[in-house]
């Protein structure tokens, strides 16, 4: 599995930038991307949320609701949610001047 296992010890955030760049490259080339994992409950929604937070500058709570409207069974594990919260603070914090 490209982005590791769905466990409380997995560092999925180490894959955020690679996934974001890949999705952007495919979209810029006119392609489409399917993000999936074994059950579509934890890993793939986490990657999708990171992508939307970064590219659309959307807060985690809002992007979680957006994705849950499309797929009601999403439930990223506790560790992944913590990593998304950290990513949110990095992505949405004002730049250092």
Q: Among 43, 50, 49, which residue's Cα sits nearest to residue 79?
A: 43
Task: Provide the residue ranges of all domains of the chain, joining segments of one domain with +.
Answer: 12-92
Give tens-digit pLDDT for 37-58.
889 999 999 999 999 999 999 9
Active-site residue flag, 37: yes
Architecture of domain 12-92: Alpha-Beta Complex (3.90)
Q: What is the pLDDT of residue 10?
A: 86
CA distances from 50 to 62, 82, 87, 91 (A): 12, 12, 7, 9
pLDDT digits (tens, 9 = 90+) for 9-24: 789 999 999 999 999 9
The answer to whether 46 and 87 are in contact (CB under 8 A) is no
Residues 6+ away with beta carbon under 8 Å from 76: 41, 42, 43, 45, 46, 49, 84
Minimum mean pLDDT range among 27-36, 40-49, 87-96: 87-96
Of 37, 48, 60, 63, the catalytic one is 37
Share of the chain above pLDDT 70, in %: 94
């Amino acid at each position: 599995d490209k982005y590791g296992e769905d466990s409380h010890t997995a560092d999925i955030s180490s894959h955020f930038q690679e996934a974001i760049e890949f999705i952007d490259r495919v979209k810029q080339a006119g392609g489409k991307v399917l993000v999936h994992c074994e059950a579509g409950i934890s890993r793939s929604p986490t990657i999708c949320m990171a992508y939307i937070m970064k590219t659309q500058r959307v807060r985690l709570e809002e992007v979680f609701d957006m994705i849950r409207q499309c797929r009601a069974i999403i439930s990223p594990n506790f560790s992944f949610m913590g990593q998304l919260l950290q990513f949110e603070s990095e992505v949405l914090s004002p730049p250092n001047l």
